[in-house]
Structure 1
Amino acid sequence: MKIGIADTTFARVDMGRIAIDEIRKHASVGIERYVVPGIKDLPVACKKLIEERGCDLVMALGMPGGAEKDKVCAHEASQGLILCQLMTNKHIIEVFVHEDEAGDPKELAWLMEQRTREHAANAVRLAFYPKELERLAGTGQRQGFEDVGPARP
């Protein structure tokens, strides 16, 4: 089993390093990292990690800016990641933290680390312990901020 980490130089926190650290806490697994300039470069990085480097699952990590054009670029990148999943029949866990999700740089850094760590744990669950995810179905899990819980307690 090998997990790929695709991340960007545009992000203001080293999300790839955080993801690798968290994955290693939960599993002994091969890890391949591929760093690209920005989020629209992530789909091809993920495809290369899967097809050329033999990854079974990939995390796509990035930080879209706060402007409207950045939101459009994030949407385009998301569409590319979905297409890549369908083309390769492999999971790609998208971990985007939009720059305008937090009020100040300290909170943004905290959110980027928290969301990355929680999704890295999900990547390990998806790869090795899918029954754990099944038990969490419908529980209102949120990565980064506090979970919202189920609609019906």
Structure 2
Amino acid sequence: MSHHLVTINVNGIKRSDTVPARLTLADFLRERLDLTATHLACEHGVCGACTVLVNGETARSCLLFTVQADGAEVTTLEGLSEGSELGPIEQAFWEKHGMQCGFCTPGFVLTIFELLDDNPNPTREEIIEGLGGNLCRCTGYVKIVEAVEEAVTRRGDGT
């Protein structure tokens, strides 16, 4: 199997490594960089647990080869942290009980991050549509939608 040198800016840090051509970005993040908030579940791009931002847009890291991300800027859940403080989306999830087991939460948070960047004040219907590509087996999504609405409020008032 061929190997390739890649350089990827991950969470603001330039990382270079020689990787097999078929190493997924999810496996690169988890195994090579120890960024374990990127979760693997279905490994078919259906569930959204592996969602990361690639050049500011959501991507299923289980479907993307690391070599395809060469030169890109990748953001994982760890990259959204504001020091030891939760970001507004994470804080909203905490306060509104938008998670149960938490396995799907990183994918939801990154999806919401992109959603709110594109549309800072979405309607409930736009939130539901925006979250349509992420699956949660524990909740009924009501609390997740409420968490997004809370994040909108928090981002709007700077808290």
Normalising to structure 1: TM-score of the pair?
0.30
Q: Give the structure with the larger helix fraction.
A: 1
Larger Rg: 2
Normalising to structure 2: TM-score of the pair?
0.29
